[in-house]
């Protein structure tokens, strides 16, 4: 297998895993936690976020680095409109994800119990926007081929 094909494989698996983890959390895990109610909800959300963060950061780095490698080695010009729009989508995706993880998540740890629900809602919104941007970048990649 060539280095270029390996980069494609890493890029696709990392991005799909990153997006899949966000959709899994949003559609299955977070609603299940919410059904637990009260402080149990906050405790479960905080524990899950703490455990998932290192893996998600690794997936972000792998997605971005393999994407840069593909752009540098690929046949498509680096400044083609398709490449620029996908890059913007991925950077916005990473920005939303990192905002949720590095700005909102620490606030949750120091919030009063009465404030946690609204912070979790904003966090879920940032993850939904991030996952949607990633999905859009994937769809755009297929449409431009």
Mean pLDDT of all residues in 59-73: 88
pLDDT value of residue 142:
74
Mean pLDDT of all residues in 32-40: 80
Mean pLDDT of all residues in 91-118: 86
pLDDT value of residue 145:
61
CA-CA distance, 19 to 7, in Å (whole number)?
18
Distance of CA 47 to the CA centre of its chain: 18
pLDDT at residue 140 tops 90: no
Chain position carrying tokens 């398709």: 82
Neighbour-count burial for 30-63, b at 16+ CB within 10 Å, e otherwise: beebeeeeeeebbebbeeebeeeeeebeebbebb
pLDDT at residue 33 tops 90: no
pLDDT value of residue 39:
72
pLDDT at residue 105 tops 70: yes
pLDDT at residue 75 tops 70: no
| H or E element in which residue 75 lies | none
Q: Which domain range does residue 58 map to?
A: 3-143
Summarised one tens digit per residue, pLDDT across range 84-99 is: 888 888 889 889 988 9
What's the structural domain count of the chain? 1
Mean pLDDT of all residues in 3-32: 91
Residue percentage of the chain with pLDDT more than 90: 26
Task: Give 76's pLDDT tier (boundaries 50, 70, 90).
Answer: low
């Amino acid at each position: 297998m060539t280095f270029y094909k390996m980069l494609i494989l890493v890029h696709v698996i990392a991005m799909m895993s990153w997006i899949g983890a966000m959709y899994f959390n949003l559609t299955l895990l977070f609603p299940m936690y919410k059904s637990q109610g009260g402080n149990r909800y906050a405790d479960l959300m905080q524990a899950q976020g703490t455990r998932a963060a290192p893996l998600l950061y690794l997936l972000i780095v792998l997605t971005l680095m393999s994407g840069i490698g593909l752009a540098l080695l690929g046949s498509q010009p680096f400044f083609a409109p398709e490449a620029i729009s996908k890059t913007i989508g991925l950077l916005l995706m990473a920005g939303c994800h990192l905002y949720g993880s590095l700005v909102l998540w620490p606030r949750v740890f120091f919030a009063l119990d009465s404030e946690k629900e609204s912070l979790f809602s904003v966090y879920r919104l940032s993850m939904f926007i991030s996952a949607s941007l990633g999905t859009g970048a994937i769809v755009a990649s297929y449409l431009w081929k």
